[in-house]
């Protein structure tokens, strides 16, 4: 079943018109015609089954057959703040995989050891949206603007705050040792070269708990996904 | 610290000579000289700290300073048999990430719905070796030759056998519901389009237990990595 991302559909709408670009994609690329069925996700939890009611070159209109609101609503809120990787494809890969596995919010943080300090937000959102459609997620993860590490950790957060770092000390615990179930979590993942000692200190002073993700040396994007897997696992 | 993969080093050797290619890499690319230290991993559990004892254009010889055998020896054996993805980069990505997280054996299986039926084994091994060095793993995961699904499941295996499929029936359990700790595991992961019903039936008849990896729709390589994460997590 083909999936369209329709953030502008009204909750419980009975009909929807695809925009010109998606209308062309629907009729010319997918070769769908009147009566064919498609799925719509609105990114706010709405999943719609619809069928093509009318079709012109410029506009495909859909009749909604069934509606599910709060489809697969998650029982926790996972926010991962991760330093953009030098090779942006690695961050894009993380965004795709985290969307498949389950994530609510991502913030790119610029750290002392960050080699990459700028990102193209719109491109990253496209990666997330493609994964939302491919994995049939009704909720669209939120990508926040990039922000400096110092500004980010100063922000208030009601979440359980943790920082994964690579400095081998005994204070680090596994996520599973400290995470409360069905809660909100905020996890910091550092750049290639890890967080600086000063960043780690300031995070700990801001109430972040130090984490280890295992005894192997993980790349930034692998560490971020490992945290995503572990928290989704703990909230099954 | 720079890491070299040296599968031909003898256990407990006191010295080692890099081959011509790696010698050139060591001196010309890394610009390392006499007295500089490097790490060696032999892929069989051996981790060596060594320093450069002599250097010519063609050959760099190393003096071993310290040796650790069975470095980070794993407490279980994980074998994932996965259908190669249509886009081979997705399989390569899985091999890199699984090596970082921890895996022992991978077998590409050609299934009824497989769009890709051939792989370049040597290229895939290069991906694994690069990840072994990057993540400082002393054990090199084994990549087996590609084999048909039917031939593969006929093979004897002392492992706990499981098959992850997408047909929504109540018999599927999570890995965590059935996996015994510190054991050997064999997990089957299907292609885009899933295993065929006939393949699932024959696997169940061969003693494979049906798995679900969660309630979201995962790509082949994501499902394979999810299984890898879960089994490493359960064996911490």
Q: What is the ipTM of this complex?
A: 0.95
- What is the side-by-side order of every strand in the sheet holding B47-55? B3-5, B37-41, B47-55, B60-68, B15-17
CB spacing of A229 vs B232 below 8 angstroms: no
Share of chain B above pLDDT 70, in %: 100
Count contacts between A and B (CB, < 8 Å): 70
Q: Which residues of A touch B231 (CB under 8 A)?
A: none
Q: What is the pLDDT of residue B6?
A: 97
User: Given this model, what pLDDT does residue A198 score?
Assistant: 97
CATH code of A3-68, in short, is: 2.40.240.20
Q: Chain B residues contacting A, CB < 8 Å?
A: 72, 93, 97, 100-102, 134-137, 174, 176, 214-219, 222, 225-226, 229-230, 232-233, 236
Residue A63 near residue A51 (C-beta atoms within 8 A): yes
Q: Looking at residue B74, what is its pLDDT?
A: 96
Q: Parallel, antiparallel, or unpaired for β B147-148 and B142-143? A: unpaired
With cut-offs at 50, 70 and 90, classify the pLDDT of residue B12.
confident
pLDDT score of B156 more than 90: no
Interface with B, mutate which of A102, A219, A230 (most B CBs under 10 A): A219
Grade residue B168 by pLDDT with cuts at 50, 70 and 90. Answer: confident
How far are the Cα atoms of A123, A187, A217, B198, B209 from residue A111, in angstroms, in the given order? Answer: 21, 15, 19, 52, 45
Nearest alpha-carbon partner for A81 in A151, A180, A140 = A151
Interface of A with B (CB under 8 A): 72, 93, 97, 100-102, 134-137, 174, 176, 214-219, 222, 225-226, 229-230, 232-233, 236
Tell me which residue in A216, A226, A236 faces B135 most closely, judged by beta carbons. Answer: A216
Question: pLDDT value at position A1?
Answer: 85
Residues whose CB is less than 8 angstroms from the CB of residue A235 and which lie 6 or more positions away in sequence, other chains included = A74, A75, A76, A181, A182
The DSSP call for residue B51 is: E
B80 pLDDT band, cuts 50/70/90, is very high
Give the residue on B whose Cα is nearest the Cα of A135: B217
Q: How confident is the model at residue B94 (pLDDT cuts 50, 70, 90)?
A: very high
For residues B157-162, give the mean pLDDT. 95
Residues 6+ apart with CB under 8 A from B33: B27, B52, B55
Greatest distance between any 2 Cα atoms in chain A: 65
In this structure, are residues A48 and A64 in contact, taking their beta carbons and an 8 Å threshold? Answer: yes
Residue of A47, A233, A234, A235 to mutate, testing the B interface (most B Cβ within 10 Å of its Cβ): A233
Contact in structure between A140 and A128 (CB atoms under 8 Å): yes
Say if residue A100 is exposed, middle or buried (CB neighbours under 10 Å; 0-12, 13-18, 19+): buried
Q: Do B136 and A217 touch (CB under 8 A)?
A: yes
Report the DSSP pairing between strands A3-5 and A37-41. Answer: parallel
Within chain A, strands assigned E span 3-5, 15-17, 37-41, 47-55, 60-68, 77-82, 105-110, 142-143, 147-148, 160-164, 184-189, 209-211
Pair of tokens at residue B156: 């004897």
CA closest to B235 among chain A residues: A214
> Do B217 and A97 make contact, defined as CB atoms within 8 angstroms?
no
Of the candidates B115, B112, B135, B123, the residue with the CA atom closest to the CA atom of residue B43: B135
pLDDT at residue A172, as a whole number: 95
- pLDDT at residue B1 is higher than 90: no
Domain A77-234 sits in CATH at 3.40.1280.10
Q: Do B101 and A226 touch (CB under 8 A)?
A: yes
Q: Report the predicted TM-score, pTM, of the whole model to 2 decimal places.
A: 0.96
The 3-state DSSP class for residue B204 equals helix
DSSP letters for B95-129: HHHHHHH--SEEEEEE-TT-S-----HHHHHHHHH
The neighbouring-strand residues paired with B5 are B41
Low-confidence residues of chain A: pLDDT under 50: none
**A100 with B216: Cβ contact below 8 A:** yes
In chain B, where are the structural domains located? 3-68, 77-234
**Chain A residues in contact with B101 (beta carbon < 8 A):** 214, 216, 218, 222, 226
Which of B225, B230, B231, B232 is the best mutation test for A, with the most CBs of A within 10 A? B225
- In this prediction, residue B170 carries a pLDDT of 87
CB spacing of A222 vs B101 below 8 angstroms: yes
- Tell me whether the CATH fold assigned to B3-68 matches the one assigned to B77-234: no
Mean pLDDT calculated for residue range B72-95: 97
> CA A47, CA B68: separation in Å to the nearest integer?
55
What are the backbone dihedrals phi and psi of residue B221, each rounded to the nearest 5 degrees, phi first?
Answer: -70, -30
* Number of C-beta neighbours around residue B217 at 10 A: 14
- Could you identify the residue written with the tokens 């939302």? A132
The per-residue pLDDT for A169 is 83
Which tokens belong to B236? Answer: 């911490």
Cα separation, B90 vs B105, in Å, equals 18
| Yes or no, beta carbons of A214 and B174 under 8 Å apart | no
Nearest to A101 among B135, B136, B216 (CB): B216
What's the confidence (pLDDT) of residue A99? 98
Decide: residue A227, CB within 10 A, 0-12 exposed, 13-18 middle, 19+ buried. buried
Minimum Cα–Cα distance from B96: chain A residue? A222
Query: What pLDDT, on the 0 to 100 scale, is given for residue A78?
Result: 98
Inter-chain contact B136–A230, Cβ cutoff 8 Å?
A: no
**Residue A131 has what pLDDT?**
98
């Amino acid at each position: 079943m083909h999936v369209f991302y329709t953030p502008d559909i009204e909750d419980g709408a009975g009909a929807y018109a695809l925009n010109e670009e998606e209308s062309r994609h629907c009729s010319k690329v997918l070769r769908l015609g009147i009566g064919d069925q498609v799925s719509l996700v609105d990114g706010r939890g709405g999943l719609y089954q619809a069928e093509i009611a009318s079709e012109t070159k410029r506009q495909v209109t859909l009749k909604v057959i069934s509606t599910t609101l709060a489809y697969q609503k998650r029982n926790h809120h996972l926010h991962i703040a991760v330093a953009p990787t030098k090779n942006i494809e690695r961050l894009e890969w993380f965004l795709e995989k985290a969307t498949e596995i389950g994530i609510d919010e991502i913030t790119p943080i610029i750290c002392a050891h960050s080699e990459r300090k700028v990102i193209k937000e719109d491109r990253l959102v496209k990666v997330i949206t493609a994964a939302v459609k491919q994995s049939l997620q009704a909720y669209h993860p939120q990508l926040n603007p990039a922000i400096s590490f110092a500004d980010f950790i100063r922000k208030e957060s009601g979440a359980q705050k943790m920082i994964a770092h690579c400095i081998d000390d005994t204070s680090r615990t596994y996520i599973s040792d400290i995470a409360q179930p069905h809660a909100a979590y905020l996890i910091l993942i550092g750049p290639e070269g890890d967080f600086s000692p000063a960043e780690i200190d300031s995070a700990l002073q801001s109430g972040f708990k130090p984490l280890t993700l295992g005894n192997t040396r993980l790349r930034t994007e692998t560490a971020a996904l490992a945290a995503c897997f572990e928290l989704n696992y703990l909230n099954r």
